[in-house]
Amino acid sequence: MNPFTYHTAAAVDEAVREKAGHAGAQFIAGGTNIIDLMKENVERPPHLIGLGKLPLSDITDAPDGGLRLGATATNADTAWHPEVQKRYPLLSQAILAGASPQLRNMATNGGNLLQRTRCYYFYDVATPCNKRQPGSGCAALGGYNRVHGILGTSEQCIATYPSDMAVGLAALAPTVQVQGPRGARSIPFRDFHRLPGTTPHLDNNLQSGELITSIDLPPQGFNQHFTYLKLRDRTSYAFALVSVAVGLELEGNVIREARLALGGVAHKPWRDESAEDLLRGEPATEATFRRAAQHVVRDARGYEHNSFKIEQARRAIVRALKQATEMTQPLNANVFLNSNT
Ligand SMILES: Cc1cc2nc3c(=O)[nH]c(=O)nc-3n(C[C@H](O)[C@H](O)[C@H](O)COP(=O)(O)OP(=O)(O)OC[C@H]3O[C@@H](n4cnc5c(N)ncnc54)[C@H](O)[C@@H]3O)c2cc1C
Ligand code: SF4
């Protein structure tokens, strides 16, 4: 047991000050990830700053017609919020595809974005891991890499980012509002998470001491044609092998606007804007979907145990685009597909 001190912050400024004043301090929201990391000795913060009393748990209309999701609103309250269900059902589906009801009751929106990879070696402090200990090596490259990435990987890290919520968000393109020692700023969602490159220890582009205050959704919610398709080893309580978030705007059978993002394949939610370009203006047919799917995996690279994900991703994209076009899936359907099928 590593000793640590604890402080509950009642205001955003106080939380930011408290973090700046304690080297190595960490925020704790629902605690569903950070406590596990502390138990496994992956993270050893000497000081924790509780966010549970901050006034950031509301979900409110934004002046631009969008919706502001407070950073400490729980995943459950967000997924079941009437405005989220009505205007952003894709996000609701993505959140409800993750974890379990008990975890979603604790997990917060800010914490969800900052949850860390589920790479087995990252959690095993007896193995080399460049993300946990820069320069130590990557045990997954020559190890058991079934759950690892196929897109945007590097020679230093092939981990995937595990959040379902974030894949739904990537398709909706919100902004993340943060407050830090140097003031407030707004980060477009596409720039929030990072690829591993030569700095796999950095998961995102937050600067030191910054606190997420909200996630601001734009007005366009794609609530007529959408889906979140999650493929995994069992139907609940499992992370995605591959997931696909789709939002479409259709005029007759023609695609006017398209959003396409993947989870389980990369170090960040993988939104492919050039594949979206291929969909725009085209008929919503299987041939169009196949072209877009092939385009998304054009640079995919499989490793010893995860090459199946390339074909799995291609098929999942086609299926998700079809589901979103026809709206054939029931709300909150979480689809089981064994990775070997
Ligand atoms: C068994 C299990 C199964 C799971 N399955 C899934 C799944 O299928 N899909 C899925 O998406 N997730 C899954 N999860 C992960 C779960 O969704 C995350 O653990 C949760 O969302 C984290 O939120 P939290 O509030 O508990 O974060 P915490 O654990 O409190 O914090 C996580 C990190 O975020 C930081 N942080 C928290 N809030 C803020 C803030 N406002 N600003 C800045 N930093 C902050 C903390 O310092 C910490 O580093 C699973 C978790 C478990 C334990
Ligand atoms: S894939 Fe990344 S997280 Fe996993 S062992 Fe390699 S460096 Fe660590």
**pLDDT tens-digit profile of 285-307?**
999 999 999 999 999 999 999 99
Rounded distance from Cα 130 to ligand 2 centre (Å): 6
Nearest CA to ligand 1 atom 17: 112
pLDDT at 215: 98
CA distance 154 to 314: 21
CA distance 43 to 49: 15
Question: Cβ(157) to ligand 2 under 6 A?
Answer: yes
Among 101-105, 113-117, 235-239, 269-273, which stretch is predicted with the lowest mean pLDDT?
A: 235-239
Q: What is the pLDDT of residues 61-73, one digit of tens each?
A: 999 999 999 999 9
The total number of residues written for the chain in this structure: 341
Q: Which ligand is nearest to the CA of 119?
A: 2
Nearest CA to ligand 1 atom 51: 99
Rounded distance from Cα 259 to ligand 2 centre (Å): 29
Please enumerate in sequence order all residues whose Cβ is within 8 A of that of 325, keeping only pairs 6 or more positions apart, or say none.
225, 248, 250, 284
pLDDT higher than threshold 80 for residue 212: yes
Question: Cβ(266) to ligand 2 under 6 A?
Answer: no
Instruction: Give, for ligand 2, the residue of 131, 136, 306 to mutate: max count of ligand atoms closer than 8 Å to Cβ.
Output: 131
User: If pLDDT is split at 50, 70 and 90, which confidence band does 74 have?
Assistant: very high
pLDDT at 338: 32
Beta partners for residue 262, in sequence order: 244, 270
pLDDT at 339: 31
Per-residue pLDDT, averaged over 31-50, amounts to 98
pLDDT at 7: 98
User: If pLDDT is split at 50, 70 and 90, which confidence band does 278 have?
Assistant: very high
Rounded distance from Cα 326 to ligand 2 centre (Å): 39
pLDDT higher than threshold 80 for residue 333: no
Among 146-160, 161-175, 234-248, which stretch is predicted with the lowest mean pLDDT?
A: 234-248
Tokens of 251: 């005029």
Question: Cβ(161) to ligand 2 under 6 A?
Answer: no
pLDDT at 1: 75
Mean model confidence pLDDT for the chain: 95
Per-residue pLDDT, averaged over 38-58, amounts to 98
pLDDT higher than threshold 60 for residue 17: yes
pLDDT higher than threshold 90 for residue 331: no
pLDDT at 335: 38
pLDDT higher than threshold 90 for residue 318: yes
pLDDT at 337: 34
Q: Quick one: which atom of ligand 2 is closest to the CA of 148?
A: 1
Q: What is the pTM of this model?
A: 0.96
Q: Which ligand is nearest to the CA of 37?
A: 1
Question: Cβ(200) to ligand 2 under 6 A?
Answer: yes
3-class SS string, the chain: CCCCEEEECCCHHHHHHHHHCCCCCEEECCCCCHHHHHHCCCCCCCEEEECCCCCCCCEEECCCCCEEEECCCEHHHHHCCHHHHHHCHHHHHHHHCCCCHHHHHHCEHHHHHCCCCCCHHHHCCCCCECCCCCCCCECCCCCCCCCCCCCCCCCCCCCCCCCCHHHHHHHHCCEEEEEECCEEEEEEHHHCECCCCCCCCCCECCCCCCEEEEEEECCCCCCCEEEEEEECCCCCCCCCCEEEEEEEEEECCEEEEEEEEEECCCCCCEECHHHHHHHCCCECCHHHHHHHHHHHCCCCCCCCCCCHHHHHHHHHHHHHHHHHHHCCCCCCCCCCCCCCC
Q: Which ligand is nearest to the CA of 147?
A: 2
Are 312 and 76 spatial neighbours (Cβ–Cβ below 8 Å)? no
Question: Cβ(130) to ligand 2 under 6 A?
Answer: yes
pLDDT at 49: 98
pLDDT at 13: 98
Q: What is the pLDDT of residues 155-182, one digit of tens each?
A: 999 999 999 999 999 999 999 999 999 9
pLDDT at 336: 33
Question: Cβ(213) to ligand 1 under 6 A?
Answer: no
Distance from chain centroid for Cα 28: 18
Question: Cβ(106) to ligand 1 under 6 A?
Answer: yes
Residue type, 31: G
Instruction: Give, for ligand 1, the residue of 16, 108, 216 to mutate: max count of ligand atoms closer than 8 Å to Cβ.
Output: 108
Per-residue pLDDT, averaged over 129-151, amounts to 98
Q: At what angle do helices 286-296 and 308-326 cross, to 10 degrees?
A: 140
Rounded distance from Cα 136 to ligand 2 centre (Å): 10
Nearest CA to ligand 2 atom 6: 138
Long-range contacts, stretch 183-188, CB < 8 angstroms, 24+ apart:
184/213, 186/216
Q: Quick one: which atom of ligand 2 is closest to the CA of 120?
A: 4
